[in-house]
A = this chain, B = another copy of it.
Amino acid sequence: MNPGSATGAGFALHPQLAADTHPIGELPLCRVLLMDDARFLWCLLVPRRAGVREIHELPESDRRQLWDESHRLTLAMRAVRTGDKFNLAALGNQVPQLHLHHLWRRVGDTAWPAPVWGTGQAIPYAAATATALCRRLWRQLTDAAAVSHRKAP
C-alpha cells in the first residue's frame, strides 16, 4: 500500500506479528505496523533483517537507522494522538523476531501505570478505523516537517 525500499533478503514477518497488526508502511530499514488494539496507540518497528533477534546483533549503520526511524515514528504518533508518556520496548520473549514497541500512554488508560503487555484483552479496531489511522500515521511519517527532525547523516 505504501512505497518503500525492497524487503531485506530472506526477511518474512513473523506470523504472530502479522496476525496482531495492520501494515502502515515501509521505512528504509523497518516495516511499520499498527497493533490491532484500540485501547492504546501502539505501533511496532520491525527491521527487515532475516534472523535478527536482538538490537545489538545489527551492524552500527542499521542501529543508527533503527533509532532514527524510532524517533520519526514517535513524533508521527504524537502528531496523530496526544499522550502523557511514551513507552518504548524491545522484549521478544514470546515472538523472537526483533520488533520494537512504541506506545503513547495516557494517565488512566486501561493498564496505567503498569506496562501494557499481558494486561487484559486487545480490543480490535473496526476495519475502516484501522485503515484511516494507518493512513494518518503514514502521512505523518512521510511528512516533510517530520522528516526534517532528522539531520542529514
The stretch of A33-41, A82-90, A122-130 that contacts the partner chain: A82-90
**A72-103 contact mask (Cβ, 8 Å, vs B): 1 or 0:** 00110010000001111111111010000000
User: So how many copies of this chain end up in the complex?
Assistant: 2
A63 at the interface (CB under 8 A from B): yes
The residues of B that contact A90 with a CB separation of less than 8 Å are: 86-89
A6 at the interface (CB under 8 A from B): no
A145 at the interface (CB under 8 A from B): no
The stretch of A9-17, A110-118, A133-141 that contacts the partner chain: A110-118
The residue that A89 contacts in the complex, of B53, B71, B78, B87, with Cβ under 8 A, is B87
The residue that A56 contacts in the complex, of B75, B113, B115, with Cβ under 8 A, is B75
**B114 contacts A56, CB within 8 Å?**
no
